[in-house]
Amino acid sequence: MSGFGRRRRLGPAVPVAPGARVDRFEVFFDLVFVFSFFIITRATALQITAGSLLHALLVLAVLWWSWVVHSVVATRVRLGEGFVPVLMTLGMAALFTFALSLPNAFRDPRGNAAGPIVAAVSYTVIRVVHLLLYLHAVRDSPNERRQLMRFAPEVIGSTLLLGVAALVPPQLDGLTSASLIRDALWGTVVLLQYTTGILAGTWGWGVASAEHWTERYDLILIIALGESVISVGVGSNLLGQPPTLAAVAAAVLGIFFTAALWWAHYDMIGPAARIALHAAEDGPRVAMARDAYAYFYLPMIAGIILFALGAEEIVHQITDPNVSNWLPAKGPGEPLLFGGVICYLCGNMLFQLRTLRTLSWTRVGTVILLAVTIPVAELLPALGALTLLTAICVGMVVAEVVIFDAGRRALRQLVFEERTSHEAHEAAWRARWHLPPEPDEGE
């Protein structure tokens, strides 16, 4: 790809090679993106109601779609090479502004419309940056340009609907009607975006590097899991409180059950899915990348936010010196905690079913057990409910390690052989750096 004008000073955009990995700038961008997850959690934790949870999920769905578009752009051009980082920095600033405006996006719609307007404008800038980059990447491919036009109604419709959601409700008198119209507009945006992704099909697209695609999504998931730990630590008043035995126990249990959820994806399912995406080609590869990663990661991320909210509520009660650690926990903490883990595991099972065509009975059993123990957890003290959840999640991990031992060993052997072969090829190629330079023809 060649640049023009001032782009030549920065360098041209660099295409993504078939074996490419995630570069540093992409991880840098991810940190700003995950900040949005943190803001969603913080804004919802201020007052957990059915309405605030609905708003959190609407914002998350719209935000996640921009991530999906971002990952599609990253399959074509290296985001850290040439002039691209300059344009992406503009998108990063817009994303940061969008995140900062989220707490005000669903306040009283009859009041100040500055927050919703900033959110709509920032989101528009993000989408325009992605569109410009992708147009540049496919400028020499008529088929991909035609496919890109299928998304034109979604891009235009999404940005216009968010603008209408910011401008129209403040002009209405009734709070209920204004809120319903705003929420309906945001819901229409979500429906438009994810329906377009299905209707557009897979013709004309490509995933040049399955390694890059899988690593991209695995990184955002693990960063989101880490953000949930930060959210619990910061929001639940663990900081600044004396390290009581109950507070230390809650912190340890929080790490344990989060690690168990990490294990649930990254021990077997994630590595096996990566191999499955490598094995797929052309249209089937694009369809798997879209369904498993772009769509089924969303309930996993939503589950992380929900159980982070629940864990924060529970740990806050544990660390509150005015609340007895022996009384049953109050509020929505237990349903959110258990329901979030259920949502995460259900998303992971859909991911497994789509990529590997299998379903682990241990996961099904764990989800059922979590669902039936929610009433029990609501009768327990906060620390008891957290202990029960941790025991179930860690028990699932232990059971899978024992039951699927042969499969785990075979998968690790396959991954080891793949890495050994890849590293041997890289070592052979780099060995040329140590060879003496060839003499010039004139010498």
Q: Which residues contact 141 (CB under 8 A, 6 or more apart)?
A: none
What's the CA gap between 220 and 205, in Å, rounded? Answer: 22
Tokens of 67: 């991530």
Count up the domains in the chain and report the number: 2
pLDDT value of residue 1: 41
* Domain end position, chosen among 188, 205, 222: 205
pLDDT value of residue 441: 60
DSSP 17: P
Q: Is 407 within the bounds of a domain?
A: yes
What pTM, to 2 d.p., does this model score?
A: 0.89
* Inter-axis angle of helices 245-266 and 297-319, nearest 10: 170
Q: Which amino acid is at 224?
A: A
288 and 182 in a common domain: no
Nearest to 247 by CA among 329, 305, 325, 304: 325
What's the CA gap between 70 and 211, in Å, rounded? Answer: 16
132 and 33 in a common domain: yes
Question: 286-298, pLDDT tens digit by residue?
Answer: 999 999 999 999 9
**CA 37 → CA 113, 289, 344, distances in Å?**
22, 22, 15
Tokens of 147: 């496919």
Q: Is 442 within the bounds of a domain?
A: no
Q: Is 437 within the bounds of a domain?
A: no
Q: Is 443 within the bounds of a domain?
A: no
Question: Domain span at residue 260?
Answer: 208-428
353 and 220 in a common domain: yes
Report the SS3 class of residue 200.
coil
* Domain end position, chosen among 205, 222, 246: 205
CATH number, position 355: 1.20.1410
Q: Is 381 within the bounds of a domain?
A: yes
Q: Is 186 within the bounds of a domain?
A: yes
133 and 8 in a common domain: yes
227 and 149 in a common domain: no
197 and 143 in a common domain: yes
3-state secondary structure 257-270: HHHHHHHHHHCCHH
Q: What is the dihedral angle through the alpha carbons of 303, 306, 307, 311, rounded to the nearest 10 degrees?
A: 170
114 and 12 in a common domain: yes
* Domain end position, chosen among 205, 237, 266: 205
Parts of the chain with a pLDDT under 50 = 1-5
* Other beta carbons within 10 Å of 215: 16
Q: Is 156 within the bounds of a domain?
A: yes
Q: Is 434 within the bounds of a domain?
A: no
Burial group, residue 101, by CB count within 10 angstroms (0-12, 13-18, 19+): buried
226 and 188 in a common domain: no
pLDDT value of residue 292: 94
349 and 410 in a common domain: yes
7 and 144 in a common domain: yes
187 and 103 in a common domain: yes
240 and 177 in a common domain: no
pLDDT value of residue 362: 94
pLDDT value of residue 101: 85
